[in-house]
Amino acid sequence: MSRIIYRHSVIALAIGALSLATLPAAQADAVADALANYKTQGAGTFDAQAGARRWSENFTDAESGKPINCASCHHQDLRKPGQHIRTLKPIEPMAPSANPQRLTDVKKIEKWFLRNCKGTWARACTPQEKGDFLVYIQSQ
Ligand code: HEC
């Protein structure tokens, strides 16, 4: 009996240690992979300040005719939750420091860059712009 309990707690500890260890590592890996891809697509040095500037650069929303930027849905302060301007659904904070799930999956990052750049800027973001956003978001 006690051996079973012991075994369970060892497994629980191992799982706990694993999840603690993998989250930040997954984040670093996903961002590093994405940045390496952007370099092969012609991007230069990435600049968090450029990412910060573009985060709140206003465009005109084709649907509403109102100004729109990344912060319209995600909040200006990346550590705070946002709200979708159309569905009004809450959006979890973008900053990895406030939300460890962020920037852990290259496919998810690319999927949302594609959608959000088109939805906000009415065009795809360039590899340089995406990399600037990632280093900015990661720094928050
Ligand atoms: C109309 C609302 C809206 C706007 C504007 C918007 N986004 Fe998003 N974004 C979302 C939603 C919804 C998700 C997916 C839900 C989630 O991850 O919480 C998302 C997810 C993301 C993700 C995925 C991050 C991750 O790893 O979880 C990134 C990166 C992102 N957005 C970047 C941007 C950038 C850069 C801009 C500006 C060019 C932008 N978004 C503008 C709604 C928006």
Q: What is the CATH number of the domain that holds 114?
A: 1.10.760.10
Residue 105 lies in a domain: yes
Higher pLDDT, 48 or 1: 48
Q: Using a 6 Å cutoff on CB, does residue 73 contact ligand 1?
A: yes
Kindly give the distance from the C-alpha atom of residue 119 to the centroid of ligand 1, in angstroms, as a whole number: 10
Domain that holds residue 97: 25-138
Write down the pLDDT at residue 17: 54
Residue 134 lies in a domain: yes
**Structure confidence by residue, pLDDT tens digits, 70-109:** 999 999 999 999 999 999 999 999 999 999 999 999 999 9
* Number of folded domains that form the chain: 1
Q: What is the CA radius of gyration of the chain?
A: 19
**Do residues 136 and 128 touch, judged by C-beta distance below 8 A?**
no
Kindly give the distance from the C-alpha atom of residue 8 to the centroid of ligand 1, in angstroms, as a whole number: 40
Residue 5 lies in a domain: no
pLDDT at 30 over 60: yes
**Quick one: CA torsion of 8, 14, 17, 21, rounded to 10 degrees?**
-150
Which residue owns the Cα nearest ligand 1 atom 26? Answer: 103
Residue 2 lies in a domain: no
- pTM of this prediction? 0.86
Write down the pLDDT at residue 62: 83
**Structure confidence by residue, pLDDT tens digits, 31-41:** 999 999 999 99
- Tokens 């012991």, located at residue: 6
Q: Using a 6 Å cutoff on CB, does residue 106 contact ligand 1?
A: no
**Do residues 38 and 127 touch, judged by C-beta distance below 8 A?**
yes
Residue 4 lies in a domain: no
